[in-house]
Amino acid sequence: MAALALLTSCIKDEEANQECDIVSAWVEGKEYENYFYDVTQMKHENIASTVTEIVFTVKSMISLPEKLPIQLAVTPGATVVPASGSEQHFKDGPVTYTVTSQDGSWQRQYTVVFREAVKPTYRYGFEEVETIEGMNNNLYHNFYIFDQAGNRQNVWATGNPGAILIKQNSMPEDQPTYSTEQGYVGRGVCMNTQDAGMLGRLFGKPIAAGNLFIGQFILDNVLLDALKATQFGLPIDRVPIRVTGYYKYRPGDTFTNKDMEPVPGRVDEASIYAVFYRNKDNDGNPIFLYGDNVLSSEYIVRKAEVASLPPTDEWTPFEMFFEGGDADPIVLASQGYNMTLVFSSSKDGASFEGAIGSTLYVDEVVVSFEEITQ
Amino acid sequence: MKKIIIFFVFCTVFCATIKAQGGFSWENLQVKARLGYSIGGTAPIGFPATIRSVDAFRLTPSVMAGADVALPLNEKWGVSAGLRFENKAMEIEATTKAYRMEVTKGDQKIEGLFTGHIQQDVTEWMLTLPIMATYAVGRNVTLKAGPYASLLLSKDFSGIASDGYLRQGDPTGPRIIMGSKEGEWATYDFSDEMRPLQFGIAAGVDWQVHQHIGLSADLNWGLTGIFNRDFKTVEQTLYPIYGTIGIFYQF
């Protein structure tokens, strides 16, 4: 005890914060509510550490006022330019905010952008891909789309940002999910289950399955609870009924459990599914589905799963139909439903069960929707 | 290192001088068997500001057993040399803010700034050879000081980083949240980076309370950091600094 007291007396004064994050961003005031489909879309909370673009979805860019104030909460002590609450011309395009840490030595830049809701793309050809340079000289592919209005939309997410955490000097093709030139038409997606190495084992996460999904990968959660790193779904204004596409699949040789012990007789399987769900609870709080409830949540309205994906080295068509209830047209019109589409090279990869080397290729995915009744 | 060599040279010269003054006899050789318990820490000299609080400090099995041979050179002065088997261990919990650390395993690593809770265990079983000058103050009390060298037989420097987050690379890097249970936290182990030999200086006092039995108190101050010089992950040089309370039996 005396030793503890002695040690405590050695503690130096706290130094100024070095971090410079935007923690939350919101539009404040009843007068602005009309521009949004719903009040939940006026606020972004707990913004993930890797986010640099904050998107507010509005009904119409044309009717948006010339200037709007955005409120920002940043790391304690940090400053932001332009200031939180200052009116900016979002109608003219993205506005860049620079956050400077309390100690003055670090900066991060964010863009805040107002956009009309994603007009869903019916066809995903996976032709739009960019190479991102992560930490430690690791490169990885990121898939995006152009919507019907011609706007770039970052609808696709992968676990790549998590996989590169423990790597150094790696190429896009070294990652669990990457773009391949050998698609069914043009480029396609390759997903493969990888050995996460000694460090992955140390963290109880021995394998990394390749995945691609509509939603957001929240790297912040990857160690705490990997199932919470995959946030599934984005708002959609119509009701999906069917998904088709092409795949190739080859399971890896040895199926292992989460302790990396072989499970004799078990063969790895790929998974392809889609979920359409309510994105608000009855009190109006936002709902997201994660790895632990994406197929079981009470907010699911309808879902589609491909029953089986037999191994094949030839491009083979797959098809799945949404089953479940109907959507409420009023809720639908207010962006009250989300849809996700999920592909994984190991069905139980989220719980770190699968076979290293399992490889799933996917291309030319088409989603069919119900007719929109006005 | 240079300081230690100078110290050894000084001791040798000192002993030779005393010897030259006379009053020396091999028959006066004293042998003491010792048992002790050490308390202290393997710590930077002055905490860095990235350590925000020390939350727990637990007693560890830091026992010492050994013997030394003392040779009085004259009425007051003497020299002693010993061999000790001892453990310099530490268990500490601390709260950090932006503390630079690295988690490595094989050829993989994650490094960055950790803000959160650290539980640090250090164990260093070693054989220590102290060489000391002794000075008798009165009949029962002997002061002693001198250098020591330790050969580490087993070493462990490992811990857990939990209840916080790591900013990978620098304060603007990805934030990886660490939880409060296994699988959610990060463990680290720098045992292999510890140097096998340590040097330092020791000073203490022996108090003869009975004909054969006595009590001792010693301070062992490491002059070499516990890690190899090229190991940079732990920013601060950590020195083993331990106090030992013991009993001895003089034959």
Tens of pLDDT along A266-298? Answer: 999 999 999 999 999 999 899 999 999 999 999
Interchain proximity A219–B174, CB inside 8 Å: yes
Q: What is the predicted pLDDT for the residue at B229? A: 83
- pLDDT greater at residue B6 or residue A257: A257
Q: What is the predicted pLDDT for the residue at A372? A: 62
Q: Is the pTM of this model over 0.90?
A: no
Residue among A180, A213, A208 at smallest CA distance from A363:
A180
Res. B133: pLDDT tops 60: yes
Residue of A nearest to B55 (CA): A4
Q: What is the predicted pLDDT for the residue at A19? A: 96
Residue B242: list chain A partners with CB under 8 A.
none
* Whole-angstrom distance, CA of residue B15 vs CA of residue B134: 10
Pick from A11, A50, A202: CB nearest B174: A50
- pLDDT greater at residue B138 or residue A345: A345
What mean pLDDT value characterizes chain A?
A: 92
Q: What is the predicted pLDDT for the residue at B3? A: 54
| A275-299 CB burial, b ≥16 within 10 A, e <16 | bbbbbbeeeeeebbbbbebbeebeb
Contact by Cβ (8 Å): A213, A232: yes
Pick from A11, A20, A197: CB nearest B106: A197
Interchain proximity A202–B103, CB inside 8 Å: yes
Interchain proximity B172–A201, CB inside 8 Å: no
Q: What is the predicted pLDDT for the residue at A222? A: 87
Res. A42: pLDDT tops 70: yes
Q: How confident is the model at residue B237 (pLDDT cuts 50, 70, 90)?
A: confident
Q: What is the predicted pLDDT for the residue at A127? A: 96
Residue A201: list chain B partners with CB under 8 A.
105
Residue B113: list chain A partners with CB under 8 A.
18
Domains and CATH numbers, chain A: 22-116 (2.60.40.2340), 123-369 (2.60.120.890)
Question: Other C-beta atoms within 10 Å of B198: how many?
Answer: 23
CB-count burial class (<10 Å; 0-12, 13-18, 19+) for A45: exposed
Interchain proximity B57–A4, CB inside 8 Å: yes
Q: What is the token pair recorded at A34? A: 């009309």
Res. B111: pLDDT tops 60: yes
pLDDT digits over A84-124, tens only? Answer: 999 999 999 999 999 999 999 999 999 999 998 876 667 89
Pick from A10, A49, A224: CB nearest B184: A224
Interchain proximity A199–B106, CB inside 8 Å: yes
* Whole-angstrom distance, CA of residue B38 vs CA of residue A308: 65
pLDDT digits over B22-42, tens only? Answer: 555 667 788 999 999 998 888
What is the complex's ipTM, to 2 decimals?
0.86
Least confident residue range of A178-182, A198-202, A226-230, A325-329? A198-202
Res. A374: pLDDT tops 50: no
Interchain proximity A223–B51, CB inside 8 Å: no
Percent of all residues in chain A with a pLDDT value above 70, rounded to a whole number: 96
- pLDDT greater at residue A143 or residue B250: A143
Pick from B113, B173, B176: CB nearest A223: B176
Interchain proximity B172–A20, CB inside 8 Å: yes
B58 touches chain A (CB under 8 A): no
* Whole-angstrom distance, CA of residue B195 vs CA of residue B190: 11
Residue A204: list chain B partners with CB under 8 A.
182-183
Residue A13: list chain B partners with CB under 8 A.
49
Q: What is the predicted pLDDT for the residue at B189? A: 83
* Whole-angstrom distance, CA of residue B157 vs CA of residue B110: 18
Interchain proximity A166–B48, CB inside 8 Å: no
What mean pLDDT value characterizes chain B?
A: 86
Helices (H), A113-186: 160-163
Q: Domain B2-250: which topology?
A: Porin (2.40.160)
Pick from B53, B182, B184: CB nearest A8: B53
Pick from B103, B167, B179: CB nearest A224: B179
What are the Cα distances from residue B66, in Å, to B8, B46, B72? Answer: 21, 31, 20
Contact by Cβ (8 Å): A316, A160: no
Q: What is the predicted pLDDT for the residue at A82? A: 97
What is the arithmetic mean of pLDDT over A336-342? 96
Residue B170: list chain A partners with CB under 8 A.
18, 106
Q: How confident is the model at residue A371 (pLDDT cuts 50, 70, 90)?
A: confident
B85 touches chain A (CB under 8 A): no
* Whole-angstrom distance, CA of residue A331 vs CA of residue A336: 5
Res. B197: pLDDT tops 90: yes
Res. B241: pLDDT tops 60: yes
Residue B39: list chain A partners with CB under 8 A.
3
Residue of B nearest to A1 (CA): B57
pLDDT digits over A149-201, tens only? Answer: 788 888 999 999 999 988 889 999 999 999 999 999 999 999 999 998 877 87
- pLDDT greater at residue B80 or residue B105: B80
Contact by Cβ (8 Å): B133, B152: no
* Residue A165, SS3 per DSSP: helix
